[in-house]
Amino acid sequence: MSCLTARTGRQRQRYEDQLRLVSGCIPYRFEKTVGSSNCNAEKKLLVLMISSPNRDDLVFPKGGWENDETMHEAACREALEEAGVKGVLGETPLGKWEFRSKSKQNNGSLQGGCRGYMFSLRVTEELDSWPEQASYGRKWVTIEDAFIFCRYDWMREALRKLLTVLSDSTENGPREEPGELPLRPVISEVGSEHQMSSPSSCFTSHSSVQQLAA
């Protein structure tokens, strides 16, 4: 059992324009694979998703951004609490999305509205136990599977943003991992969620990152 504890309650929760502010991330890593034909080592991109009880779909770690932390700190905390991972967080959000929680999506008011910021997180440490392990399972999946199993359409859009950022970094800047291949997203629209607006076009170069504190 983890000796760390997760934050609970919304006493410190930030709000803006009557929307609950949320921060999260897409944890990722590159896994070496060996081609069956020529035995050349290649890099396969995997993302870490979390599951909740009695559901077959998956999400990325996210949660309320509180008033005693920065947006980056909130994203790092949620990755640790919900998925048990630490790593290098992208300095700039992948984008900003406004959405309603699933239970409030048919409500015509702003009740249940959220404004979410998502970051990339290159995972460097995976803990054996984590604060919300009893509530969330975790699973490394391929990009193709991530598009299929992702619960929300706006998270699929965030995933496309991640692919664009990593592809741009590979082609135009220093590589994070030697031998990376250009990334080609596979888009599979499965399911839907009530979304209130499109994401902002906000990108980051992975040459500028923030290290998650241990």
8-41 residue pLDDT tens: 656 789 999 999 999 999 999 999 876 655 555 6
> How do beta strands 137-142 and 62-64 pair?
unpaired
Mean pLDDT of the chain: 78
Residue 38 burial class via C-beta count within 10 angstroms: exposed 0-12, middle 13-18, buried 19 and up: exposed
Residue 106: predicted pLDDT: 53
Amino acid letter for position 39: C
Determine the average pLDDT of the residues in 180-184. 38
CATH superfamily of 15-206: Nucleoside Triphosphate Pyrophosphohydrolase (3.90.79.10)
Q: Cα 116 from chain centroid?
A: 11
Percent over 90 (pLDDT), the chain: 57
CA distance 183 to 170: 9
Determine the average pLDDT of the residues in 58-81. 96
Residue 43: predicted pLDDT: 82
Residue 82: CB atoms within 10 Å: 24
Determine the average pLDDT of the residues in 90-107. 79
Residue 8: predicted pLDDT: 61
Nearest 10 degrees: Cα torsion 198, 56, 27, 66: 70
Q: CA nearest 154: which of 210, 84, 93, 83?
A: 93
Instruction: Supply φ then ψ for residue 102, to 5 degrees.
Output: -55, -35
- Whole-model pTM: value is 0.74
Residue scoring higher pLDDT (104 or 19): 19
